[in-house]
């Protein structure tokens, strides 16, 4: 009787809160539920998640706005009629609660941040992850000088911005343009380009011009009011941080303003790499004050549908975080 009671109590303790996506659709498909807390295997860490994020990718995965060309490949990967992993969520920041006996890089108590890849599962209080990089995630120690909410922006925006900016091999004095400068990746791309010593131009809407300047941009253009660029202006590197689906007459003009030998890269050119070495580099630059991740709004886990509605409008400034616990 005593053993049975003990088992029941233990079983009760093994629950956690998570947001479950029961089918593809609008934000209302997300439901807060109580589910079993995962148990780490020998080669896994158990992360107590403090913050997750609602990113462009989460909106995409939830499924209401997948462009037709991505629909079939995406559904084959993440589930045909509903997400194969019912707990979605791509970004996390938290603390290692326990580490399996084959774990070498982390110890209980370490503060970590990263992406969960096809494993998803970040919309929950706990998540098990391997310490090695794969399509199922990458993990590194979190920058010590920022909150868990800010760390989610550094992880997602940083991995995106750094990966695509690196293709430019940017050198001091070069002219760099970031199109979509006020979003999660754009705000970090502006700061990274400044860190690399470039002369930086940001393109965003009118309401974000001051914000983008405050991040270090030397020049800003408003794509909602300006259609052309001075024909004298040329850029050595252009990053389209807004993605191919978002365009304007000014974007067309920017593409034409490449210097001979210049490079134009879209953030949609190829898959996002889950790279813990890059996370470690982002940590260094954040701790040195070169990159300040920007949180637009922070919601609680029960309000995640509201956060999806907000992000779905496509005009967040920096990132949107979810405080988990």
Ligand X SMILES: NC(=O)c1ccc[n+]([C@@H]2O[C@H](COP(=O)([O-])OP(=O)(O)OC[C@H]3O[C@@H](n4cnc5c(N)ncnc54)[C@H](OP(=O)(O)O)[C@@H]3O)[C@@H](O)[C@H]2O)c1
Which long-range contacts link 40-44 to residues 24+ away (Cβ below 8 Å)?
40/98, 40/99, 40/100, 40/128, 41/100, 41/128, 42/100, 42/101, 42/102, 43/100, 43/102, 43/103, 43/130, 43/131, 44/100, 44/103, 44/128, 44/129, 44/130, 44/131
Cα Rg of the chain (Å, integer): 21
Per-residue contact flags (x/-) with ligand X for residues 50 to 79, judged by CB under 6 A? -----xxx----------------------
Considering the complex, state which of residue 268 and residue 306 has its C-beta at the smaller distance from ligand X. Answer: 268
Angle at the Cα of 230 (from 246 to 250), degrees rounded to 5?
10
Q: How far is the CB of 25 from ligand X (least distance, A)?
A: 20
Q: Which of 52, 93, 116, 182 binds ligand X (CB under 6 A)?
A: 182
Question: Residues 224-263: x/- map of binding to ligand X (CB under 6 A)?
Answer: -----------------xxx--xxx---------------
| Closest distance of CB 222 from ligand X, Å | 8
Least distance (Å) between residue 143 CB and ligand X: 19
CA–CA distance, 238 with 228 (Å, rounded to integer): 16
- Give the one residue of 85, 105, 315, 323 binding ligand X; rule: CB under 6 A: 315
How far, rounded to the nearest angstrom, does the alpha carbon of residue 258 sit from its chain's CA centroid?
A: 28
How far apart CA 310 and CA 295 sit, in angstroms, is 13
Contact status: 297 vs ligand X (CB under 6 A): no
User: How many positions of this chain bind ligand X (CB under 6 A)?
Assistant: 29
Among 200, 204, 257, 305, binds ligand X (CB under 6 A): 204
The rounded distance, in Å, linking the Cα atoms of 41 and 51 is 23
Closest CB 244 distance from ligand X, rounded Å: 6
Q: Footprint of ligand X on this chain (CB under 6 A)?
A: 55-57, 157, 160, 179-180, 182-186, 204-205, 208, 223, 241-243, 246-248, 267-268, 271-272, 314-316
């Amino acid at each position: 009787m005593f053993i049975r009671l003990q088992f029941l109590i233990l079983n009760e303790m093994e629950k956690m809160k998570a947001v479950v996506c029961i089918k593809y659709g609008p934000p209302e498909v997300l439901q807060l539920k109580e589910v079993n807390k995962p148990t780490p295997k020998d080669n896994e860490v158990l992360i107590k998640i403090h913050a997750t994020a609602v990113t462009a990718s989460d909106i995409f995965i939830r499924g209401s706005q997948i462009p037709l060309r991505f629909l079939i490949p995406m559904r084959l990967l993440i589930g045909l009629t509903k997400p194969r992993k019912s707990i979605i969520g791509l970004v996390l920041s938290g603390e290692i609660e326990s580490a399996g006996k084959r774990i070498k890089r982390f110890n209980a108590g370490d503060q970590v941040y990263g992406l969960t890849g096809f494993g998803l599962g970040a919309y929950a209080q706990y998540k098990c992850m391997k310490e090695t990089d794969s399509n199922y995630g990458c993990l590194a120690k979190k920058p010590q000088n920022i909150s868990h909410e800010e760390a989610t922006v550094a992880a997602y925006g940083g991995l995106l911005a750094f990966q695509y900016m690196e293709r430019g091999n940017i050198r001091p004095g070069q002219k760099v343009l970031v199109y979509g400068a006020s979003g999660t990746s754009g705000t970090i791309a502006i700061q990274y380009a400044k860190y690399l010593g470039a002369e930086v131009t940001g393109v965003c809407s009118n309401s974000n011009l001051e914000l983008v300047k405050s991040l270090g941009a030397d020049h800003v253009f408003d794509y909602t009011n300006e259609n052309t660029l001075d024909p004298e202006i040329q850029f050595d590197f252009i990053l389209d941080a807004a993605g191919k689906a978002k365009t304007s007459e000014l974007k067309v003009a920017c593409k034409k303003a490449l210097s001979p030998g210049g490079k134009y890269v879209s953030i949609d050119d190829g898959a996002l790499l889950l790279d813990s070495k890059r996370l470690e580099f982002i940590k260094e630059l954040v701790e040195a004050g070169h990159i300040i991740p920007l949180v637009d709004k922070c919601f609680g886990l029960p309000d995640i549908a509201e956060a999806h509605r907000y992000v779905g409008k496509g005009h967040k400034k920096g990132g949107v975080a979810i405080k988990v616990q």
